[in-house]
Amino acid sequence: MTTNTARERLINAAVEAFAEKGFAATTTRDIASRAGMSPAAVYVHHDSKESLLFTVSLDGHRSALAVINRAAASSSDPVDRLRTMVYDFSLWHADNSRVGRIVQYEYHALTPEHRAEVATLRRSIERTMQDALADGVDQGVLDVTDIPGTAFSLLSLGVDLVRWFEPGGSRSGHDLATLHADLAIRMTAARAAPAQPSA
């Protein structure tokens, strides 16, 4: 078994166990069993169960940040850009709902140092959304008075999916991401001033 394969199996086993049982109820032995490894072999790659959780959380947040950064660079039109950002961010959370559920619900199980590192990635995601909104306001095509609050609210549309979304349900990830993107534009698009009656 190669090191990369062993690591991938271990991370996948940790995601499966944390999603099914929660971090507190999961043991290192349980993770090792799911990965087809001995408990001792786990410590070759991670020195604790929390270290595994941190890796899952770090990988998840880096992936989500990459998604929203790519979306932010996808268009120079602020409205199209915002639509793509909200759609892609929501779709990522639908497609990765198990990982998303773990990193949201088990955040406080991380050590203070690890929480701080993850929080830095969260702030980067929020800043990317804030910058997109600010650009749209500057160009006069978005109407947003509270940019930090609006950015947080739009991102929360996607993040909240991990709380209840299950693949194969009545609505697909694409359907929900499309709805979120449409809602984002309705919430933020500047309205044209009504025409003044002629004298």
What single string gives the DSSP state of each residue in 138-171?
A: HTTSB--S-HHHHHHHHHHHHHTHHHH--TTSSS
39 with 106, same domain?
Answer: no
pLDDT, tens digit (0-9, with 9 covering 90-100), for 136-191: 999 999 999 999 999 999 999 999 999 899 888 889 999 999 999 999 999 998 86
69 with 123, same domain?
Answer: yes
CATH number of the domain bearing residue 60? 1.10.357.10
Please state, in angstroms and rounded to a whole number, the distance separating the CA atoms of residues 75 and 53: 35
Please state, in angstroms and rounded to a whole number, the distance separating the CA atoms of residues 147 and 58: 26
30 with 65, same domain?
Answer: no
In a domain, 194, yes or no: no
pLDDT, tens digit (0-9, with 9 covering 90-100), for 85-129: 999 999 999 999 999 999 888 999 999 999 999 999 999 999 999
pLDDT of residue 192: 53
- The model's pTM is 0.88
In a domain, 198, yes or no: no
Handedness of CA 106, 111, 115, 117 (dihedral sign): negative
95 with 17, same domain?
Answer: no
Residue 194 has pLDDT above 50, yes or no: no
32 with 98, same domain?
Answer: no
CATH number of the domain bearing residue 16? 1.10.10.60
24 with 12, same domain?
Answer: yes
In a domain, 184, yes or no: yes
Residue 43 has pLDDT above 90, yes or no: no
Q: Which domain holds residue 153?
A: 48-188
Residue 69 has pLDDT above 60, yes or no: yes
pLDDT of residue 135: 97
Residue 33 has φ and ψ, to the nearest 5°, of: -60, -45
Domain count, the chain: 2
100 with 184, same domain?
Answer: yes
